[in-house]
Amino acid sequence: MTCPPRILVLPPRLTASARTLRATALRRGLRIVEATASAVPEGLGSPGWAGWPEGAGQAGSPGGTRGTWDARGTGSAESTGCTGSDGHAVHLHAGPSFADVVAPALGIALLEAPADWLARLPRALTQRDVRATTIGEAYRLRRPAFVKSPNDKSIPALVYADGSRLPGPDAVDPATAVLVSDVMTFSVEYRLHLLDGAVHAAGQYAEAGRLRLGPPDGDALAFGRDVLAAAGKTLPSAIVVDVGRDDEGRWAVIEANAAWASGCYSAAPDRALETVLRAAGPATALSPHDRAFVR
């Protein structure tokens, strides 16, 4: 069976990285479906998508066409990974709040690392103490700590002077999962796009805490391979892992992020896109390994 061109669904507001991936997807023959509303209306029956066929520009641009795409009819899928009402395999690149609404309606499986993945890594890979806990427990902190949500942005990723500075129980369920770690300062940071147990794409994204894009460092790639050798089986087949080096030259894993919600920064966009497509694609095409990592 020959599948029609794949579809990449994008949110209403595109980051620079999303625009890069959109252009890359169009060049590779994917069809782009972009939400035109600031939020997805209830029911998804007529969500106000603006779609244009592969090779065409954005709706309203030369060569572009505007139309609607019915998100209700995901239809059945065969082992080829084809899905959708017209047999297309549907993929997604968006933030968690958008993805959580749209992905189930489109039969998309969102892959992510386990919430406690970073906390379970050996100290040799983190160079700091990392605990997976709840924000209710984190309120007891009496020292500075870096606190973040494991797989979304519901708790701002910041250094908090103590637990009293965290969002309070009036704003956040005390049972909300968080990662609490020692404060570690990185002199340079890299994003690694991992696919099928290998570093598929990479690039620098920060230096001394400020955005600074650049090519991948050989030592960063080597450390990424070390991470995969030690913990690759505890990750889905497509994921993003950020790593960094501190002023003492120590390499450490910063965090794991869902590839479908991560910017590509300076990584090769074709290879970054391949990671995104695997990380958010038809649920019917999941490998047995990846079934354990669906959001």
Predicted confidence (pLDDT) per residue in 153-180, tens digit: 889 999 999 999 999 999 999 999 999 9
Instruction: Return the minimum-mean-pLDDT range out of 15-29, 62-76, 198-212, 251-265.
Output: 62-76
CB 26 within 8 A of CB 58: no
Mean pLDDT to the nearest integer, 192-198: 98
Q: Give the model's confidence band at 35: pLDDT under 50 very low, under 70 low, under 90 confident, else very high.
A: confident
Q: Hey, what are 167's tokens?
A: 């969002």
Q: Structure pTM?
A: 0.85
In this structure, of 53-67, 126-140, 214-228, 232-246, the range with the lowest mean pLDDT score is 53-67
Residue 44 has pLDDT above 60, yes or no: no
- Is residue 63's pLDDT more than 70? no
What's the confidence (pLDDT) of residue 37?
61
pLDDT tens readout for residues 198-251: 999 999 999 999 999 999 999 999 999 999 999 999 999 999 999 999 999 999
- Report percent pLDDT > 70 for the chain: 81
pLDDT at 1: 54
> CB under 8 Å, gap of 24 or more: what pairs does 126-131 form?
126/181, 126/252, 126/253, 127/184, 127/246, 127/250, 127/251, 127/252, 128/181, 128/182, 128/183, 128/184, 128/252, 129/181, 129/182, 130/179, 130/180, 130/181, 130/182, 131/179, 131/180, 131/181
pLDDT of amino acid 231? 98
3-class DSSP state of 85: coil
